[in-house]
């Protein structure tokens, strides 16, 4: 309970500071559009999936990529990649956490934990891992917030860094990265994570080109 109060206090205080920085001219670094994100990643070939109008209204004013990747060399379940990038979050347009959206689409969380991802030249960073179910189907979901070459799992810490970066850098851009894949019958969550790890590792070095450092 104490941790929640501390987190809430941190969020309120940081929001107040954020509002003070609101009137300063914001910096928008150059970046590549998400639609240019590679559709071919090693053996994985991606196909874009349209996002319906209602979902776009909920997501707000951002740039979004929803793409399904299929391994062309092995008979594996597909991997869905969703990236939501917000050029500015000063007007309240921010990434929506999947843990709030998934129940509304009929998926129920049956397990969650924190894992750490590593990439060359970068400190390991925390990521949320959820196992969700709908009737007899299960999926593994990895998601995290990414901004300025920094990965964060916690929504509270993401808000804190949003305020800190707005003050120090005059920037409020940031993104949510979500990777989803069906869990096969008899497959454990750990095995599913290991199966999609090569795909995850292939996208990590590319993020800074589309979500600027």
Is the Cβ–Cβ distance between 206 and 119 less than 8 Å? no
Q: How far is CA 87 from CA 23, 33, 141, in A?
A: 16, 11, 25
pLDDT at 53: 84
What's the burial of 166, exposed, middle or buried (CB within 10 Å: 0-12/13-18/19+)?
Answer: buried
Percentage above 90 pLDDT, the chain: 55
User: What average pLDDT does this structure show over 64-73?
Assistant: 95
Cβ count within 10 A of residue 53: 7
For the chain, counts of helices (H) and of strands (E): 6, 9
Higher pLDDT, 156 or 67: 67
In this prediction, residue 94 has a pLDDT band, given cuts at 50, 70 and 90, of: confident
For residue 22, pLDDT over 80 is answered with: no
For residue 50, pLDDT over 60 is answered with: yes
What's the burial of 189, exposed, middle or buried (CB within 10 Å: 0-12/13-18/19+)?
Answer: middle
Cβ count within 10 A of residue 151: 21
Least confident residue range of 61-70, 90-99, 196-205: 90-99
pLDDT tens per residue across span 157-174: 999 998 998 898 888 899
Least confident residue range of 16-25, 80-89, 170-179: 16-25
Alpha carbon distance 169, 31 (integer Å): 16
For residue 90, pLDDT over 90 is answered with: no
Q: What is the pTM of this model?
A: 0.84
What's the structural domain count of the chain? 1
pLDDT at 11: 53
For residue 9, give its domain range: 2-210
pLDDT at 107: 85
């Amino acid at each position: 309970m104490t941790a929640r109060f501390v987190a809430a206090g941190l969020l309120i205080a940081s929001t107040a500071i954020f509002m003070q920085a609101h009137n300063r001219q914001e910096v928008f670094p150059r970046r590549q559009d998400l639609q240019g994100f590679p559709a071919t990643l090693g053996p994985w070939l991606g196909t874009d999936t349209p996002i319906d109008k209602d979902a776009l209204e909920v997501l707000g004013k951002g740039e979004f990529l929803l793409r399904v990747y299929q391994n062309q060399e092995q008979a594996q379940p597909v991997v869905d990649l969703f990236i939501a990038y917000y050029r500015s979050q000063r007007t309240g347009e921010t990434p929506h956490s999947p843990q709030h959206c998934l129940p509304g689409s009929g998926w129920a969380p049956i397990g969650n934990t924190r894992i750490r991802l590593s990439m060359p030249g970068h400190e390991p960073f925390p990521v949320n891992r959820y196992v969700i179910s709908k009737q007899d189907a299960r999926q593994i979901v990895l998601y995290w917030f990414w901004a300025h070459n920094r990965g964060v799992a916690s929504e509270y810490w993401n808000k804190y860094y949003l305020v800190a970066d707005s003050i120090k850098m005059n920037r409020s851009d940031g993104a949510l990265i979500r990777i989803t894949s069906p869990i096969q019958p008899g497959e454990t969550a750990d095995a599913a994570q290991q199966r999609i790890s090569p795909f995850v590792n292939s996208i990590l070095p590319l993020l800074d080109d589309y979500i600027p450092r």
